[in-house]
Amino acid sequence: MSNDRIHRFHTSVSGIELPAQFTFPFHYVPHPLAVAAAGEVMRYVATRVEWRHELQAGKMLGVLVVTGDNGLGYLAAFSGNLCHSNDWDYFVPPVYDLLQPRGEFRRGEAAITHLNHVIAQLEHDGQAAACQRRIEELEMQCRVHVAQWKSTMRASKQLRDAMRANGSLKPQQEQALIAESQYQKAELKRIKRASAREIDAERARLEEHESRVAQLKQRRKTMSEALQERIFRLFVVSNARGERKDLVDVFSSYYGCKRLPPAGTGECCGPKLLQYAYGHHLQPVCMAEFWYGRSPVGEVRHHGHYYPACQSKCRPLLDFMLQGLDVESNPLAQPSAETVDGERLDIVYDDPWIMVVDKPAGMPTVPGKQCAVSLLDRLRQLLPQATGPLVVHRLDQMTSGLVLVAKTKEVHKELQRQFAEHSIKKRYTAVVAGQVQGETGVIDLPLRPDIDDRPRQLVDPRHGKPAVTRWKVIKRGHDGTTRIAFYPLTGRTHQLRVHASHPGGLNAPIVGDMLYGTAGSRLCLHAESIAFVHPVTHKEVTVESKAKF
């Protein structure tokens, strides 16, 4: 393979069989060939001194194992750009080079940058602030003038009242007093109108200035959206059938209406790798993306760990680009061996009002976008006479363990109240990859959804919701793992998984965690115990189910 973008394996892979199907990039265990390729890439990039600083700060890298006329090899890619360039030797080139000096993006960016300077000058030229100060001064002057005139009017009225109290006013004098009162009232109105005219004139100047800035910002937005669409039209991708589409058409077809992709679409590893393979008549075999360097603030990324492709940018794009390949099924859409439809649910507790079931790993608690049979589907079959929503709380699809079920609407409402008041106590068992420091502790890391890559969660002290977990070491394994008991004090999505993986938590991902650690045969997280006050008998009930890992 003479092409410097297509690499032969330096390590022996002769004993590794090719996969029967191509990688499903959104949930996978990396194939040994992809692992071997990733290892070679990591060793190579460590030798490139000019990349060292940026790579150590953290970067997503990817590999695509391919076959071609010269046999088996692999391609490598980085997400975004690297050291101010998106086209380096060794890595595949971008789908479209945004950084071309005279390219469409640079020209459009220059026009928008010029507009930014104009807006910044207007916002900082002091005119708006001066107008605002002048308005405040005029309003103060008006208040003072009005107050002084009203004081004069009160003094005049007191004098008129005293003169009238004497009872010796002649008709001409009474008319003079009335005229004085009318004049003072009219003068007060004139003072207010004159002040209002000055203030309105100053406000008009301020509004004119602000309107000009707003118009320029709207123009900038229109230019930015138009540039974005022009750029996305230049990102033309292929699939294994030989079909070609630009990114706007890809996203519009996926969503069923015209839709612009998010910024950065087409610059991730997966699309770059597949586009290069198709363009050079290479057959994709398997793919993997992995993190190199430090974890970003707020995110959970570990050096050398493999991660799925992102959802917001890559899901529609790879959905098109993988057409024509024999791709593995989405494991989240398929019932696992534990969740075959018709299999009897493991009922751990049952009475006329409440049931507690042991949900298998891989079964979603409620129906979702995927076609896998959910726990709620099974419960509706099992309890056709039940009223209300049945499921009181949820577990992640890949988490196994105890789920509380209410057979009546009234019981469901009462148990929900207990959850809202945090009076229901839960204990989870997990096996984490690493020797945890300490024996017990509390993790307090606020969480929010990653809007660009749902369902991933981010640690965000400013915008995140409170998420607190107590933990205790149960056992330390000889294989470098630690068995942990988790006691969640709040119930955020992926709370235990992020708190385990994040450097501010245990810094030890749960074994088998595809999103925050390394994929495995299953996620080693089990809801082992739940304690609540029975809504009917008012007795405390504790239910337990030991983990099967």
One domain, residues 243 and 284:
yes
**Residue 549 included in any domain:** no
Percentage of residues of the chain with pLDDT beyond 90? 85
Last residue of a domain, one of 304, 328, 352: 328
358 and 490 inside one domain: yes
Could you list the residue range(s) of the whole structural domain that residue 222 is in? 114-231
pLDDT in tens, 321-342: 999 999 999 877 765 444 444 4
- Give 401-428 pLDDT, tens digit per residue: 999 999 999 999 999 999 999 999 999 9
321 and 337 in a single domain? The answer is no
Q: Is the dihedral of CA 352, 354, 356, 359 positive or negative?
A: positive
Residue 22 lies in a domain: no
Q: Quote the tokens at residue 122.
A: 């207007």
Q: 71 in a domain, yes or no?
A: yes
Q: What is the mean pLDDT of residues 522-539?
A: 97
9 lies in some domain: no
Query: Model confidence over 24-77: pLDDT tens digits?
Result: 999 999 999 999 999 999 999 999 999 999 999 999 999 999 999 989 999 999
Are residue 45 and residue 142 in the same domain, yes or no? no
Q: Are residues 367 and 322 in the same domain?
A: no
Set 396, 450, 453, 513: catalytic member: 396
Query: pLDDT per residue over 426-482, tens digit each?
Result: 999 999 999 999 999 999 999 999 988 888 999 999 999 999 999 999 999 999 999
Counting the structural domains of the chain, the total is 3
Q: Is residue 396 flagged as an active site residue?
A: yes
Q: Are residues 322 and 346 in the same domain?
A: no
Q: What is the DSSP string of 82-137?
A: BTTBS--TTSPPPSS-TT-TTSHHHHHHHHHHHHHHHHHHHHTSSHHHHHHHHHHH
Mean pLDDT computed over every residue of the chain = 93
Same-domain pairing of 265 and 227: no
Contact 38, 290 (CB under 8 A): yes
Indicate whether 3 belongs to any domain.
no
For residue 368, the one-letter residue type is G
Strands (E), 477-539: 481-488, 525-533
